[in-house]
Structure 1
Amino acid sequence: MAKITAAQVKELRDKTGVGMMDAKKALVAVDGDMDKAIDFLREKGIAKAAKKSDRIAAEGLANVAVAGNFAAIVEVNAETDFVAQNDQFKELVKHVAELIVANKPADVEAALAMPTQGGTLNDEIIEATQVIGEKITFRRFELVEKTDSQNFGAYLHMGGKIAALVVTEGADEATAKDVAMHVAAINPKYVNRDQVPAEEVEHEKAVLTEEAKNEGKPENIIEKMVEGRLNKFFAEITLDAQAFVKDPDQTVAKYVASKNGSVISFIRYEVGEGIEKKEDNFVEEVMSQVRG
């Protein structure tokens, strides 16, 4: 019997998308012949997931799992929204988030190699691809750690089309969740103006200054005009300065302060962002639900 090397197993997995044990069994069965191993897997129906590897998976769901002082936000993609609403797919995404927060892998590659009851997480995703019949991809995740005095707030829009994870200092979980809802709806870029890169501020300032000059404003009031417009710029892109979506008469910072807290950080995942796909007006949908 031919000796099967780890390199052969990896090559077969890369070519077929099957799990490690299936790849090894196939190679053993055909004495290490790569072409015969591929045929073997195809005949068993195990390699059909590989046929889907060139498809675009831009739909799917995001989810958040919390365990003590750690939280994970994840995105898992499928090819169609129909499959994204499949109960098995929903459970898979939830399962992925729970595995991430429990095992705290360094990156997606490490996450896919995590041992599970089904072999590895990658094996489970391949199996789900075969059962569900669409390409499924674990795209990304972020792990967040908080202190005992801080709170996590998580919000899922439409079951996970948009997911937001917020950390507040003080306040409570309900407040943090309200802020996560705001983040999902309004999509701020930064928590506060201190986080806005200096070059971005300088660029905006230069544009606003030229704009004021082109309006024919006198030099002595241009600086005040630019300062006022910069404040508006910060109010548009920073979470703290935005009008709170559930009470536009106060900013997010003032709302959280009224609950004896402050916002530390946020992460917002919108499924498929950056992947070529049809446009959906998620912001409008979220806001209509928030205000309803």
Structure 2
Amino acid sequence: MAEITAALVKELREKTGAGMMDCKKALAETNGDMEAAIDWLRAKGIAKADKKSGRTAAEGLIGVASSGTTAVVVEINSETDFVARNDAFQDLVRGVAKVALTTDGSVEAISAAQYPATGKSVHDTITDAIATIGENMTLRRAASLSVTDGVVATYIHNSVADGLGKLGVLVALESTGDKEALSAIGRQVAMHIAATNPLAVRADEVDAAVAERERNVFIEQSRASGKPDNIIEKMVEGRMRKFFEEVALLSQAFVINPDLTVEAAIKEAEKTVGAPIVVKGMARLLLGEGVEKEASDFAAEVAAVAKG
């Protein structure tokens, strides 16, 4: 058997764009024959998939799944919205969300978990799907929430199919009360989170760096007024209180009834639920959030799809 050197693996990687371990395996399978290894990778769909891996994937779908007192939300990106309407892609997102329920909810754990329909890892299953469907895809983000006793309510905005859409929300409510009533208020709170995108559940949970940045901005703005330092300090504290009210979930005006804060609405719901309710956590994933999309026009996009 030919020796599979690092230089040989590097050369194959440069020619195909495939991963290092895939290149090493291809060379081993073909006794070090470079051209045969390239064909082996192409036959497996790996070279085709990895060549596409540099292309921007900012479309796709958000998927949610729940089981008992646990729920997950995942984001799988694709290059075009056309693929998001593909049944195979939708089945993949739905399947990955179900797999995520068996993990800690991290992208790493989900990627390494076995995908039942293929017997392969989620990572390898997505790689195979890239080769089959024909454009780059990636499991970008995920979150999981659980409660000991209560519900984790879910909400999908801009739904395209059951459990799939463009924005997904989880909210964990701990309570010993009636679960049906608890689910109802949970869904309303999840819808509120979708609409307002709070930074944290409570004011003291807002990221310290974010709060400090806001404080510094307020200080600079207040100094422009020319007022003395003691007045500026009071002005800044007042603006920070307002900032926390606006970005912390429980202090926000409830979108379904703006006369109440979310905290007051939950307190009101306790009468129906029959027990205290504690918000244990939340997660909100908006499709493509933070991804810098490549500029393109619609005609060019259609032409690219037509060329395959």
TM-score using structure 2 length = 0.74
Aligned residue among 231, 250, 253 for 1:243: 253
Residue 120 and residue 60 in structure 1: after superposition, are their counterparts in 2 closer, same or farther (change >3 A)? same
Residue 35 and residue 143 in structure 1: after superposition, are their counterparts in 2 closer, same or farther (change >3 A)? farther
Q: Give the deviation of 1:40 after TM superposition.
A: 2.9
Residue 209 and residue 3 in structure 1: after superposition, are their counterparts in 2 closer, same or farther (change >3 A)? closer
Aligned residue among 172, 189, 196 for 1:186: 196
Does residue 274 of structure 1 match 2:279? no
1:12-31 per-position Cα deviation (integer Å, ceiling 9, x unaligned) = 799436997x985x546522
Q: Which moved more, 1:191-200 or 1:51-60?
A: 191-200
Give me the whole-angstrom Cα distance separating, in 1, the residues matched to 2:10 and 2:69: 36
Task: Assess if the C-alpha contact under 8 Å between 1:58 and 1:275 holds in 2.
Answer: yes
Does residue 161 of structure 1 match 2:166? yes
Give me the whole-angstrom Cα distance separating, in 2, the residues matched to 1:45 and 1:210: 56
Aligned to 1:253: 263
Does residue 88 of structure 1 match 2:88? yes
1:25-44 pair list within 5 angstroms: 26-27=26-27, 29-42=29-42
SS in 1 for 2:40: helix
Aligned to 1:63: 63
SS in 2 for 1:184: helix
Give me the whole-angstrom Cα distance separating, in 2, the residues matched to 1:47 and 1:206: 50
1:218-233 pair list within 5 angstroms: 225-233=235-243
TM-score using structure 1 length = 0.78
Aligned to 1:144: 145
Give me the whole-angstrom Cα distance separating, in 2, the residues matched to 1:71 and 1:265: 12
AA of the residue aligned to 2:59: E
Give me the whole-angstrom Cα distance separating, in 2, the residues matched to 1:111 and 1:34: 33
Aligned to 1:286: none
Q: Give the deviation of 1:215 after TM superposition.
A: 3.8
Task: Assess if the C-alpha contact under 8 Å between 2:105 and 2:142 holds in 1.
Answer: no
SS in 1 for 2:141: strand
Q: Which moved more, 1:262-271 or 1:73-82?
A: 262-271
Q: Which moved more, 1:266-275 or 1:104-113?
A: 104-113
Residue 259 and residue 50 in structure 1: after superposition, are their counterparts in 2 closer, same or farther (change >3 A)? same
Residue 227 and residue 123 in structure 1: after superposition, are their counterparts in 2 closer, same or farther (change >3 A)? closer
1:45-80 per-position Cα deviation (integer Å, ceiling 9, x unaligned) = 563222212211111111121122322221100001
Structure 1 gaps, min length 5: 280-292
Give me the whole-angstrom Cα distance separating, in 1, the residues matched to 2:57 and 2:269: 41
Give me the whole-angstrom Cα distance separating, in 2, the residues matched to 1:64 and 1:132: 22
1:65-80 pair list within 5 angstroms: 65-80=65-80
Give me the whole-angstrom Cα distance separating, in 2, the residues matched to 1:128 and 1:161: 20
1:206-254 per-position Cα deviation (integer Å, ceiling 9, x unaligned) = 5545545544667786665544433321222111111111111211111
1:55-109 per-position Cα deviation (integer Å, ceiling 9, x unaligned) = 111111111211223222211000011111222111111110110112x157434
Percent identity between matched residues is 47
Does residue 16 of structure 1 match 2:18? yes
Q: Give the deviation of 1:202 after TM superposition.
A: 5.3
Give me the whole-angstrom Cα distance separating, in 2, the residues matched to 1:251 and 1:233: 15
Task: Assess if the C-alpha contact under 8 Å between 2:145 and 2:281 holds in 1.
Answer: no
1:109-133 per-position Cα deviation (integer Å, ceiling 9, x unaligned) = 4432322341221222122112211
Aligned to 1:115: 114
